[in-house]
Structure 1
Amino acid sequence: MREPFETVALGAAPVVAAPDGSAVRPLCVIPGAGSFANFRLDAGEVAKAVVHRTVQEIWYVVGGAGTMWRRAGDITETVDLYPGVCVTIPLGTHFQFRAAVAEPLEVVAATMPPWPVDSPDEATVVTGPWKPTF
């Protein structure tokens, strides 16, 4: 039986490569509801542009600076990312993000439903505005 609670320290979480190339530390999961993770791009890095198949996300910037591009249908937006900024990535949104040249970018994110760890096709690479570094 699964324990009713989960506690994960950031430093103890494994670092894995997200489909967009960023370094991700998966943290806690509530099965069927959502998952939480920490994402990082080093200074000057640019993630691949992707679209998710089944999940949507809410991101909160905790450190550094960068930029995020999002497109949903005919609506396109590019926003600056810095500590205290919160952004949504609704289902079906194409998005790409990059870290500032002078400093890394670090965000925490909630994914709903939980990220499907056994689904290699959850994120599909799409065309974004910037050339990825991965």
Structure 2
Amino acid sequence: MQTRSFPSSPDGRSPAGAEIRYLIEGETGGMIHSTVPSGQVNRATVHATVSEFWHVLSGEGQIWRQDATGEETTVLRRGVSIDIPVGTAFQYRCTGVDPLQFLCISMPRWPGDKEATVIEGPWKPTAPEG
């Protein structure tokens, strides 16, 4: 059993460029809190072995996702949940005045930044390097 408090400062950055705080990790997956500042466009990536579930806590943004069946851009706002199946290309950005904040659950647990391959996406990235 694990119990953790919300970290007071970010633990680092995702390969895409979001500030991340590690919340909890187990054998079958992990959960992080992500923050994307207003106006930031993160790098487009694709994961080799990990799928993700996201739940937006606050802010506004967009996520572009593309897989073998097609592509779509989804508005991200409080209360919206999305999935990113393994092998799905995606890119996201904060379009509101407040930071975009969301929970991200990865399955299986995140193996390290080599999991994500940076690719071309629909928007020009502005995110700082991790």
TM-score w.r.t. the length of structure 1 is: 0.90
Pairing 1:107–2:102 present: yes
**Number of aligned residue pairs:** 127
Corresponding residue for residue 61 of structure 1: 56
Corresponding residue for residue 27 of structure 1: 23
Pairing 1:16–2:9 present: no
Summarize the Cα distance change of 1:13–1:34 in structure 2 as closer, same or farther, 3 Å threshold.
farther
Corresponding residue for residue 121 of structure 2: 128
TM-score w.r.t. the length of structure 2 is: 0.92
The Cα shift of 1:14 comes to: 4.3
The Cα shift of 1:12 comes to: 4.2
Whether contact under 8 Å (1:46, 1:99) holds in the other structure is: yes
Looking at structure 2, the residues matched to 26 and 94 of structure 1 have their Cα atoms a distance apart, in angstroms, of 23
Which letter maps to 2:99? P
Moved >3 Å (runs of 4+): none
Bigger drift between 77-86 and 120-129 goes to 120-129
Looking at structure 2, the residues matched to 111 and 74 of structure 1 have their Cα atoms a distance apart, in angstroms, of 22
Summarize the Cα distance change of 1:132–1:126 in structure 2 as closer, same or farther, 3 Å threshold.
same
> Sequence identity, in percent?
39
Structure 2: gaps (5+ residues): none
Q: Secondary structure at the match of 1:68?
A: strand
Residue 94 (structure 1) aligned to one of 89, 109, 118: 89
Looking at structure 2, the residues matched to 11 and 36 of structure 1 have their Cα atoms a distance apart, in angstroms, of 13
Whether contact under 8 Å (2:54, 2:82) holds in the other structure is: yes
Whether contact under 8 Å (1:68, 1:81) holds in the other structure is: yes
Corresponding residue for residue 6 of structure 1: 2
